[in-house]
Amino acid sequence: MTKTILRALAGEVLPVPPIWMMRQAGRYLPEYRATRAEAGDFLSLCYNPELAAEVTLQPIRRYGFDAAILFADILLLPQALGCDLWFVTGEGPRLSTVTTEADFDKLGRGEMIHDTLSPIYETVRRLRRSLPEETTLIGFAGAPWTVATYMIAGRGTKDQGPAHALKAENRPLFEKIMARLEESTVDYLSEQVKAGAEVVKLFDSWAGSLDDADFALYARESARRITQELKSRHPGLPVIAFPRQAGAGYVGFHAATGADCVAVDDSVTPEWAAEHVQVSGCVQGNLASSHMVTGGDALVAETRRVVEALGKGPHIFNLGHGITPDADPENVKLMIDTVRETRRDTGGGADGGA
């Protein structure tokens, strides 16, 4: 039987939606913390195929999720292009900035990224050999706009102000950065697919900070070009797009980009997503990640609400954002049990489940 996530991505409505969770391999798990300590630091963990595969497998062993997502980081790509990357404890990533033509001219392309990223591809190969046969392997990359915001600011920012400023003050340079990222993102994801990824996801975490015109250009159109080229290279490849906090921009995103699934965050209700987004194809989402911290009856009720609201169309159950380090692992189990106990009337009598 075809894997449940692949069935949902193909448009099938299942009585029990398949489940995975953004950042499911991470700091909320004691086994992850132990493996990270063994690696020494975050980047060493990302670039160690044995340990990166191990942390990817940990939540599959513990919970039996229907998909594993490659353990890596969206900023490995700019590092592969030539940016300096390091992490400051308690503060997050830092990058050497790209704000001038001279900075841009130092960026690499082509085979240069694959030399740096070859350990990531080896992690994918190891995972494809090690995962249970029913578990889908998802590869991923950051979308160009989101990655560009870090490259331009040199760090994460609350409003992506430096990237917006460069876009306004030097649009030609900004668009050159975006074009290089689009090209490299396709190459990066394509190599993940060659190594064994069955689905790819494009994370545009800061899409919501773009106004309507720039959202059309730098979130929607960028996702379309990447999706189109990936599907040209790998016919039949399912693509999940996540333009986080897009609001009304979620509407029509499937058709405009060619994505097989649109992930929605929890700033929109599941009922709204069913009415306005799921009519065009598979939706992924969208339980608030805070429930993984607080648990209890509210977690059960909201999980059931998401399952039932999105039960009339193809759906992959997930959070509206990544699970946070302060989450309780027992709440994750409660969520999964609730999803799998909340069967839906799909209207088609499909014989399937998670």
Residue in 23, 126, 220, 244 annotated catalytic: 23
Tell me the C-alpha distance between 232 and 226, whole Å.
10
Sign of the four-CA dihedral 249, 317, 42, 293: positive
Residue in 36, 155, 224, 304 annotated catalytic: 36
CB neighbours of residue 225 within 10 Å: 17
Q: Parallel, antiparallel, or unpaired for β 136-142 and 199-204?
A: parallel
Tell me the C-alpha distance between 345 and 348, whole Å.
8
Is 7 annotated in the active site? Answer: no
Q: How far is CA 227 from the centre of its chain?
A: 14
CA dihedral defined by 206, 212, 213, 214, rounded to 10 degrees? -10
Residue in 27, 94, 125, 224 annotated catalytic: 27
CB neighbours of residue 209 within 10 Å: 21
Is 233 annotated in the active site? Answer: no
Query: Is 78 in contact with 84 (CB distance < 8 Å)?
Result: no
Please list, in sequence order, all residues whose beta carbon lies within 8 angstroms of the beta carbon of residue 305, skipping any fewer than 6 positions away.
270
| Listed residue (262, 327, 324, 319) closest to 293, CA to CA | 327
What are phi and psi for residue 228, nearest 5 degrees? -60, -45
Tell me the C-alpha distance between 43 and 287, whole Å.
29
| Phi-psi map region of 54: left, alpha, beta (phi>0 left; psi -120 to 50 alpha) | alpha
Query: Is 103 in contact with 173 (CB distance < 8 Å)?
Result: no
- Name the DSSP letter for residue 217: I
Containing 285, the helix (H) or strand (E) segment is strand 282-287
Query: Is 315 in contact with 278 (CB distance < 8 Å)?
Result: yes
- Name the DSSP letter for residue 154: S
Query: Is 158 in contact with 219 (CB distance < 8 Å)?
Result: no
Is 36 annotated in the active site? Answer: yes
Residue in 73, 103, 214, 328 annotated catalytic: 73
Residue in 32, 47, 63, 150 annotated catalytic: 150
Q: Which residues are catalytic?
A: 23, 27, 36, 73, 150
